[in-house]
Amino acid sequence: MSEPAPPLIHQLAQQRDLVRRLQSEFRGRPRRPRPQYLQRLNADVHAAVAKLQPPGDDSAARVDLINRLQTLVAQVSSSAKLQPFGSSVSGLHSAGADLDLTLVTEVGAEMPKGVQSELVNRLAELLTESEQMESVQARPNARVPIVALQDKKSGLKCDICMCNMLAITNSQLLRAYMSIDERARSLCFTIKFWAKRRSVNDPYRGSLSSYAWVLLAIHYLQTCEPPVLPCLQALRGLYWADDPRRMIIPNFDGRSFDCSFCSDVGALREAMGTLQPANSDSVAELLVGFFRRYTREFDFVKGVSSIRTGSFLSKKEKQWTTKEAGVRGHLFCIEDPFELSHDLGRVIGRDTLNDVRSELDRASQVRAPTRPPAPAPL
Ligand code: CTP
Ligand code: MG
């Protein structure tokens, strides 16, 4: 029998000690922007987040689309079920965000690539024939075969991929993080919005996906002092990582991943609330801290941002020191929380790293406390 896990509160206190040690490695005390500036920025951020929220009937429209698509999918495979993932699940979708769906079958993730491609082609034909969807496009040869479409009724854009169990689970992990502290949601919305506005949100063009930016934001909130978020994958206890019933998820490529994490949001909120001192930063202060992290503190040469461990890993220990085939490089390393060999920054090349870093620099200029007026960050 293994040792019983220490109470949650003790584990969270240990995580705080780790963060204190991490913080001591950052050089120099951050200068605080003027209070008036922070107040204005905070009001702007809250107004922007409120404006980004989807309309009241958005959830119903998404459920309705899933149901209509499910009826069509049943004609291709009676056992296939459509499941949402991405921002609709994590709660980070703004008005008009696309709907990410994956098709899950009885045979689970063990579906050969050829069968997936065939399914994608058949599904695309059926969706076109239904006349309910437009711009239907099959991409049977993509790494994850998908059908892209737009719903005529709601106008929602939707991607359907095959057997992406890992994406369902990592979206649930993100949702758990977003439910622990309201500031996490606001910060992630703001960073996603900023990344889109500043054109650093396109992995096909050498910048980061929304998913990667959200991981960076969560990592910042885990490692600021005192932390706003715990590290859910490092906690131990019933149904958590060291339990025999831990979540081992097979993915579309035949590999399996340990996707265990503590999802007891109620217990976590309560325990976080009793730890002192509490982090009382406003979203504006957290935003300023996020940009400072990626302009002054993060070690782009040696470091890896890892929400799985709630700390920084080294490129050396990840063996991300050389460029592998099919990868632009390991220049801004972000570990996927479950697929540990996946560096979400591998889409970034030397030229695009400069673009991303200069946007981060530009945004961090907002903190200049002595030079009025500060440029707008968004
Ligand atoms: N995903 C992943 N691995 C990646 C990119 C994405 O597993 N390299 C999965 C994640 O589950 C993520 C989902 O795909 O939540 C959608 O990714 P993305 O479009 O980047 O994030 P969204 O939050 O859906 O962004 P948006 O609202 O802009 O659509
Ligand atoms: Mg999406």
pLDDT truncated to tens, each residue of the chain (378 aa)? 567 778 999 999 999 999 999 988 887 777 788 899 999 999 999 999 999 999 999 999 999 999 999 999 998 888 899 999 999 999 999 999 999 999 988 765 567 888 888 999 999 999 999 999 999 999 998 878 899 999 999 999 999 998 888 999 999 999 999 999 999 999 999 999 999 999 999 999 999 999 999 999 999 999 999 999 999 999 988 667 666 667 888 877 778 899 999 999 999 999 999 999 999 999 999 999 999 999 999 999 999 999 999 999 999 999 999 888 778 889 999 999 999 999 999 999 999 999 999 999 999 986 544 444 455 555
pLDDT of 369: 47
Residue 344 CA: nearest ligand 1 atom is 8
Please give the single-letter amino acid code of residue 292.
R
pLDDT of 73: 93
* Closest C-alpha residue for ligand 1 atom 11: 167
pLDDT of 36: 93
Q: Which residues contact 83 (CB under 8 A, 6 or more apart)?
A: 101, 102, 104, 168
Please give the single-letter amino acid code of residue 314.
S
Counting ligands in written order, which one lies closest to the CA of residue 335?
1
Residue 93 CA: nearest ligand 1 atom is 27
Cα angle 151, 153, 159; round to 5: 15
pLDDT of 372: 45
Please give the Cα distance from 47 to 35 (Å, whole number).
18
Residue 170 CA: nearest ligand 1 atom is 11
Provide the sign of the torsion angle of the four alpha carbons 178, 184, 189, 192, taken in this order: negative
Please give the Cα distance from 219 to 89 (Å, whole number).
19
Residue 174 CA: nearest ligand 1 atom is 15
pLDDT of 376: 58
Q: Is the CB of 310 under 6 A from ligand 1?
A: no
Q: Is the CB of 83 under 6 A from ligand 1?
A: no
Cα-to-centroid distance, 214 and ligand 2 (Å): 12
Of 209, 261, 336, the residue with max ligand 1 atoms within 8 A of its CB, to mutate for a pocket test, comes to 209
Residue 336 CA: nearest ligand 1 atom is 3
Please give the Cα distance from 21 to 90 (Å, whole number).
30
pLDDT of 32: 82
Nearest to 190 by CA among 48, 376, 33: 48
Cα-to-centroid distance, 335 and ligand 1 (Å): 14
Q: Is the CB of 209 under 6 A from ligand 1?
A: yes
Cα-to-centroid distance, 248 and ligand 2 (Å): 24
